[in-house]
Amino acid sequence: MDSDNQLGRFLRARRALVQPEDSGLPAGSRRRVAGLRREEVAMLAGVSSDYYVRLEQGRERHPSAQVIDALARALGLEDDAVDHLHGLAHPAPRRTRTPSRPEQVSPVLLRMMEGWHRTPAVVLGRCLTVLAHNALGRALFAGHTHSSDLLRLVFLDPDAREFYPDWERVAVNTVAGLRSAAGTDQDDPRLIEAVGELSLKSAEFRTLWARHDIRQKTRETKRFRHALVGEVVLDYESLTVNSAPGQQLVVYQAEAGSPSEQALSLLGSLGADDTSSTDDTSTTSSTRSTAPSNKDFRT
């Protein structure tokens, strides 16, 4: 998690993912590196090989916006990754870090979420910890070892691949979303802790983290295989919480009249029966659920 030379590490990781033939270059049979060579990236971007080597080695750290755009085209970067690359080349002034405080969710937002009886909703922190949920959101993710931490749920939970039928896609998007949320600030103690633990315990996470994929969590259709109601297909929209930078409000919805809508309705009924004795809806990111029962999923 050393934050030194983030630009160079990003460029090295991304060029390793580009196949020569995708850029109109011969693949050859004696390549010693994965992806593109340094001189090939330089040629495609229209810069000298020496200049590009200095970028990767950290001896040149502030290329112009035109050079960044040319490198992004050479590496086939998507919009979120292009923005990230610009941020690495021209980072905003860093503020003095204050001691980490528990992430709090606005009481107004909590009340608003509780009024959404047909749509699961959760508030995520910067490291994808569940900071709050409404009743249906709690019921959707209940029953797992890491129900209150979506990053650890994906990579460390024993039944993650059962819960997420499209686990590989979910895993890729989760890591890319974590990198996007972290931005250029790699010194956050919570991020260091999460990445360190996941890198030790999950080979899949370690591989995906090394790719430096950047993809902001926005909208997607996602499949769940819930232990109580079976398969549920939901569309979600991820919204930033302007009153709390770094938090995301994720709202799920089933297609009207679909089996998934019926499954959500059933899940809501079961959840209401299970949680009639508690209405606690929020927590700080330091609290994680470890019990498998629905009513013990308190975020």
> pLDDT by residue (tens digit) across 230-271?
999 999 999 999 889 889 999 999 999 999 999 999 999 886
| CATH 3.30.450.180 boundaries in the chain | 107-296
The third-level CATH classification (topology) of the domain covering 107-296 is Beta-Lactamase (3.30.450)
**Quick one: tokens of 285?**
């990111």
Among 124-133, 208-217, 266-275, 285-294, name the one with the lowest average pLDDT: 285-294
Q: DSSP label at 98?
A: P
Rounded-to-integer distance, Cα 5 and Cα 8, Å:
5
Q: How confident is the model at residue 283 (pLDDT cuts 50, 70, 90)?
A: very low
Could you tell me whether strands 230-240 and 248-253 are parallel, antiparallel, or unpaired per DSSP bridges? antiparallel
Sheet holding 230-240, edge to edge: 130-133, 121-124, 248-253, 230-240, 219-226
Rounded-to-integer distance, Cα 14 and Cα 9, Å:
9
Rounded-to-integer distance, Cα 15 and Cα 44, Å:
11
In this structure, the dihedral spanned by the alpha carbons of residues 219, 220, 223 and 229, taken in order and rounded to 10 degrees, is 30
Model pTM greater than 0.95? Answer: no
CATH code 2.60.120.260 for 6-89: no
At 122 the three-state DSSP class reads strand
| CATH 1.10.260.40 boundaries in the chain | 6-89
